Amino acid sequence: MSLKGRPPRQEMPCQDPQVRRNNFNEVALGYQEKLAVAEATRCLQCKKPQCLAGCPVEVPIPEFIKAVAEGDFAQAAQIVKSKNSLPAICGRVCPQETQCEAECVLGKKFEPVAIGRLERFVADWEMDKGVEKPAPAPKKGQKVAVIGSGPAGLTCAADLAKLGYAVTLYEALHVPGGVLMYGIPEFRLPKAVVQAEIDYLRQLGVDIQVDIVIGKGKTVQEILDDGYAAVFLGTGAGLPRFMGVPGENLCGVFSANEFLTRTNLMKGYRFPEYFTPVIVGRRVAVLGGGNVAMDAARTALRLGAAESTIVYRRSAKEMPARAEEVEHAHAEGVQFQYLTSPVEMLGDENGWVKALKCLRYELGEPDASGRRRPVPIPGSEFILEADTVVVAIGSGANPMVIKTTKGLAVNKHGNIAADDDGQTSIPGVYAGGDIVTGAATVILAMGAGKKSAQAIDRYLTAQPGEKTQ
């Protein structure tokens, strides 16, 4: 097959940057049918498709793309969903450039097939048409509890329900969805998309119980005592890290979790119609270089900040954020201060932050993460004015479940220790997603939820009835 005759990678239609920086509507508008078919025809339908190796949940990429090329979108949706139960979400937020698309052979010489965009197209197309009601699975007669309703918990619950288990999903917040609901902004992942997935879960018969904090209202042991044959812990990495520099508790300094939760979960951008306030000043500084930092910086612009600056201690190359989001941030006018990190936050007489005292860095030898370690340049101190600071330097495991579950082993990072199947130190108790790996990605959390669902099924089938009432 000749590559020459093939069309170029089809651009994603987007809202104009100058318009979108002022609204919370989705930035990337999605392919129309014609664009999708054109993009799908770029795929070489490789005999040994390299792309497969890049997808953590083994979506049959060439097969579904073939169906798109042939205009059989319903078939394409079925193929994707055989491996990925949340394609509308993954198509939007997977870091494709380091996963599936990184492996695509076309990418070696040209641009890779836009696998993520096609996946999103297929999922949106199906959602538009109305998803078929799932056929009820034959009942297994055993109950399984899933704690936490992020992508790990949602996937595990869906798979267990499909296998015929009676699943109860517990969530601490008043809305299920985890980071998909409280963290990732509407303009990148519309909440209606997440809601559709949650509705699907309800149709599968999953009993979703919100407003229950496991470790407080109920413990894992009590759930087991209640006759649940197994438990899956998907409680995420929700504990915000701060930098530990002086002045970090000044007014106007927020964790990214607080800033984004106020905006997304509580709909602070529609204050006072919604009663939870969220505020930005004129100059916002966001500390960090990941997806969370990009989301915060772009949110700040939409909330009315005149300037929004990413302050990152390494260089552009090391930034862990998705490439597409960095591009979008640039286009919207987010500024970047690389090789920079604050050593102190300075406040005014009312206790409000007014500036960051920063140091410049240069890159030294690679550290444990393989990235070159930033080294401060002596005497490089300078002042960066900011009246709002958002700290987005990562998050750790919330210790609530760990502390209240006797015998649950943790690893050296304070995360729950679990094997490849999610099996923890307690028989019948499984864990996966960010609570095991530390802050990672949606697709990895889903993959973990999937694996644990299978492992739980094997565990319960191996000892039928033993743990039921």
Partner 1 sequence: MFPIVRKEVIATNPAVKLFEVKAPLVAAKAKAGQFFILRCNEQGERIPLTIADYNRQAGTVTTIFQEVGASTKILGKLNEGEAILDFVGPLGLPSEIKKHPDPVVCVGGGIGIAPVFPIARALKEAGNYVIGIIGAKNKDLIFWEDRMRAVCDELIVCTDDGSYGRRGFVTDALKDVYTQREGRINQIWAIGPMIMMRVISNTTRPWEVKTIVSMNPIMLDGTGMCGACRVLVGKETKFACVDGPEFDGHLIDWDLAMKRALIFKREEQRALAVVECQGGGCGCH
Ligand X SMILES: Cc1cc2nc3c(=O)[nH]c(=O)nc-3n(C[C@H](O)[C@H](O)[C@H](O)COP(=O)(O)OP(=O)(O)OC[C@H]3O[C@@H](n4cnc5c(N)ncnc54)[C@H](O)[C@@H]3O)c2cc1C
Q: Note the residues at the interface with partner 1 (CB under 8 A).
A: 172-174, 210-213, 216-218, 238-240, 242, 248-249, 251-252, 254-255, 257-258, 261-262, 266-267, 271-277, 279, 350-351, 398-400
CB count, 10 Å around CB of 207?
15
Q: H helices within 82-142, ranges in order?
A: 87-93, 100-103, 106-109, 115-129
* Structure tokens that stand for 70 in this block: 């042939």
Which of 189, 48, 37, 57 has the alpha carbon at shortest distance from 113? 37
Residue 325 vs 387, nearer CB to ligand X: 325
Q: What is the largest CA-CA distance in the chain?
A: 70
Q: Which of 116, 178, 281, 374 binds ligand SF4 (CB under 6 A)?
A: 116
Residue 119 vs 434, nearer CB to partner 1: 434
Dihedral sign (CA 425, 431, 432, 433): negative
Q: How many binding residues for ligand X (CB under 6 A)?
A: 42
Give CA separation, 190 vs 25, 49, 183, 352, 418, in Å: 8, 32, 12, 33, 32
Letters for 414-443 (x = contact with ligand SF4 by CB under 6 A, - = none) are -----------------------------x
Residue 37 vs 436, nearer CB to ligand X: 436
Q: Which residue has the tokens 């862990």?
A: 320
Q: Which does 36 bind (CB under 5 to 8 A by kind): partner 1, ligand X, ligand SF4, none?
A: none
Q: Which does 453 bind (CB under 5 to 8 A by kind): partner 1, ligand X, ligand SF4, none?
A: none
Q: Which does 178 bind (CB under 5 to 8 A by kind): ligand SF4, ligand X, partner 1, none?
A: ligand X
Angle at which helices 442-462 and 151-162 pack, to 10 degrees? 40
Across 236-381, the runs of DSSP E, i.e. the strands, are: 239-240, 253-255, 283-287, 307-311, 335-337, 340-347, 353-366, 372-376
Which of 459, 404, 400 has the alpha carbon at shortest distance from 430? 459
Amino acid at site 251:
C
CB of 398 to ligand X, least distance (A): 5
CB of 439 to ligand X, least distance (A): 6
- How far apart (Å, rounded) are the C-alpha atoms in residues 114 and 107? 10
Find the part of the chain contacting ligand SF4 (CB under 6 A) among 43-51, 218-226, 295-303, 460-468: 43-51
CB of 113 to ligand SF4, least distance (A): 4
DSSP state of 304: T
Q: Which does 239 bind (CB under 5 to 8 A by kind): partner 1, ligand SF4, ligand X, none?
A: partner 1
Q: How many binding residues for ligand SF4 (CB under 6 A)?
A: 27
* Interaction residues for ligand X, span 112-151 (CB under 6 A): 147-151
Q: Which of 35, 37, 77, 113 binds ligand SF4 (CB under 6 A)?
A: 113
Q: Are 235 and 148 in contact (CB under 8 A)?
A: yes
Q: Which does 240 bind (CB under 5 to 8 A by kind): partner 1, ligand SF4, ligand X, none?
A: partner 1
Give CA separation, 442 vs 204, 231, 316, in Å: 21, 21, 23
Letters for 160-189 (x = contact with ligand X by CB under 6 A, - = none) are ----------xxxx----xx---xx-----
Q: Are 266 and 274 in contact (CB under 8 A)?
A: yes
Dihedral of the CA atoms 86, 91, 97, 101 (nearest 10)?
Answer: 90
Give CA separation, 209 vs 163, 206, 375, 390, in Å: 20, 9, 48, 31
Decide if residue 193 touches ligand X (CB under 6 A). no
* Structure tokens that stand for 400 in this block: 């609530």
Q: Which does 293 bind (CB under 5 to 8 A by kind): ligand SF4, partner 1, ligand X, none?
A: none
* Interaction residues for ligand X, span 294-323 (CB under 6 A): 295, 322
Residue 27 vs 339, nearer CB to ligand SF4: 27
Which of 356, 341, 346, 353 has the alpha carbon at shortest distance from 288? 341
Letters for 117-156 (x = contact with ligand SF4 by CB under 6 A, - = none) are --x-------------------------------------
Which of 115, 41, 50 has the alpha carbon at shortest distance from 80? 115
Q: Which does 69 bind (CB under 5 to 8 A by kind): ligand SF4, partner 1, ligand X, none?
A: none
Q: Which does 151 bind (CB under 5 to 8 A by kind): ligand X, ligand SF4, partner 1, none?
A: ligand X
Binding site for ligand X (CB under 6 A): 93-95, 147-153, 170-173, 178-179, 183-184, 213-215, 234-236, 238, 260, 291-292, 295, 322, 398, 400-401, 433-435, 439-443, 445
Binding site for ligand SF4 (CB under 6 A): 43-46, 49-51, 55, 57, 59, 61-62, 84, 90-91, 94, 96, 99-100, 104-106, 113, 115-116, 119, 443
